[in-house]
């Protein structure tokens, strides 16, 4: 399994463990923990991305079932995973009307769009997830009705750390590839590694990488201990790590010259894969809004 998909999978398993009933935990966690079964996180919609509280996928109570209608967009693992953690509207407009349901693959009324053709992240499929009078047992409700938005946002704190960590991995690998390249590549009669500009580029990249790693670890510790600044710290780590690590990978590709643009060398894939990290789990613009709220005391 790719680390990219592991982010989504671990978020779902955590939400089930933290908020689901004892029956749902018993039914799903043993198989999720062993990866016998996989899960997808369904929040984003065609008309509700950063403004997740405006989602319109609805779940209407009908006896012992919810009748689910709507669609989700950009769902990692869509069509391939075994269960879908779906944020849907069961009540009033806004975040307080959102609930969370577990929908098993194969449920009548559940279908999927075409596999998206993406710039990167090709290690996992991405599809729309579609609900048409999809009947889901009331017992598949995760948490209480109206708690879904809170569950989704708490899951995203961990997701932001996961995405930031994936960025660290791409940046570390790219830096090592660039180092090995400049030690042997010669131009103008000397190794690239002997040129001061190359040395400065590597020094700046290494420094940014260490700083990003420390921020991610600090945010992870805050999440683990329920620190009151967890949301801001996770947002800071995601913002800083994904921005700085993208620059590290981009600089590493530049040190390869034209070779960096070839698929024979791994750095171009890191660049394509890492770009979406500045969008996933809340865009980096949304991260700045969350951080600003904490700074302003709101």
Q: Is the pLDDT of residue 7 over 80?
A: no
Nearest to 182 by CA among 255, 276, 278: 255
Chain center to CA of 108: 28
- pLDDT tens for each residue of 90-140: 999 999 999 999 999 999 999 999 999 999 999 889 999 999 999 999 999
Q: Examine the domain organization and report whether 39 and 133 are in the same domain.
A: yes
Q: What is the pLDDT of residue 47?
A: 86
Q: What confidence tens digit (pLDDT) does each residue in 232-262 have?
A: 999 999 999 999 999 999 999 999 999 999 9
| Residue pair 46/90 in contact by the 8 Å Cβ criterion | no
| Per-residue confidence (pLDDT) for residue 9, from 0 to 100 | 60
CATH assignment of the domain containing 90: 2.40.110.10
Q: Examine the domain organization and report whether 171 and 116 are in the same domain.
A: no
Q: How far is CA 266 from CA 64, 67, 123, 260, 262, in A?
A: 52, 46, 14, 8, 8
**Same structural domain for residues 142 and 190?**
no
Active site residue 36: no
pLDDT of residue 8: 61
Please indicate, yes or no, whether residues 117 and 163 belong to a single structural domain of this protein.
Answer: no
pLDDT in tens, 33-81: 888 999 999 999 998 878 888 899 999 999 999 999 999 999 999 999 9
CA 213 from chain center: how many Å?
Answer: 17
Euclidean distance between CA atoms 55 and 285, whole angstroms: 19
170 and 139 assigned to the same domain: no
Q: Which of 15, 136, 6 lies closest to 64 in space, CA to CA?
A: 136
**Rama region for 167: left / alpha / beta (φ>0; ψ in -120 to 50; rest):** alpha
The three-class DSSP label of residue 49 is coil
**For residue 4, pLDDT beyond 60:** no
Which of 106, 89, 107 is closest to 98 using CA atoms?
A: 89
Question: For residue 185, which of 258, 264, 250 has the smallest C-alpha distance?
Answer: 258
Which among 36, 80, 247, 281 is annotated as catalytic? 281
Q: Which of 146, 180, 195 is the last residue of a domain?
A: 146
Domain boundary among 107, 129, 146: 146
What pLDDT score does 2 carry? 46
- Count of structural domains, the chain: 2
Identify the domain boundary among 103, 120, 146. Answer: 146
Strands 65-76 and 126-137: antiparallel
Q: Which two tokens stand for residue 14?
A: 């955590």
Q: pTM of the entire structure?
A: 0.89
Give the domain range for residue 274. 153-296
Q: Are residues 57 and 127 in the same domain?
A: yes
pLDDT in tens, 264-282: 999 999 999 999 999 999 9
């Amino acid at each position: 399994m790719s680390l990219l998909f592991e982010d989504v999978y671990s978020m779902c398993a955590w939400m089930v463990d933290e908020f689901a009933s004892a029956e749902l935990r018993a039914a799903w966690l043993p198989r999720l923990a062993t990866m016998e079964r996989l899960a997808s996180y369904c929040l984003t919609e065609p008309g509700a991305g950063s403004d997740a509280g405006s989602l319109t996928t609805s779940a209407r109570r009908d006896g012992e079932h919810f009748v689910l209608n709507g669609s989700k967009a950009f769902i990692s693992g869509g069509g391939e995973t075994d269960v879908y953690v779906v944020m849907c509207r069961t009540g009033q407009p806004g975040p307080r009307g959102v609930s969370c349901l577990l929908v098993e693959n194969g449920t009548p009324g559940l279908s999927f769009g075409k596999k998206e053709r993406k710039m990167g992240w090709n290690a996992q499929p991405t599809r729309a997830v579609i609900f048409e009078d999809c009947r889901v047992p009331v017992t598949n409700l995760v948490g209480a009705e109206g708690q879904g938005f809170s569950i989704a946002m708490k899951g995203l704190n961990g997701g932001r750390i996961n995405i930031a960590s994936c960025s660290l991995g791409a940046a570390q690998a790219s830096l090592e590839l660039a180092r090995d390249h400049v030690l042997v590549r010669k131009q103008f009669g000397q190794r690239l590694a002997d040129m001061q500009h190359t040395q400065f580029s590597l020094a700046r990249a290494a420094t940014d990488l260490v700083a990003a790693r420390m921020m991610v670890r600090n945010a992870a510790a805050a999440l683990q201990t329920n620190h009151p600044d967890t949301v801001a710290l996770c947002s800071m780590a995601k913002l800083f790590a994904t921005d700085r690590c993208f620059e590290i990978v981009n600089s590493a590709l530049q040190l390869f010259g034209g070779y960096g643009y070839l698929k024979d060398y791994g750095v171009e894939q890191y660049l394509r894969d890492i770009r979406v990290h500045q969008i996933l789990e809340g865009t980096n613009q949304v991260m700045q809004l969350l951080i600003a709220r904490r700074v302003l005391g709101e």
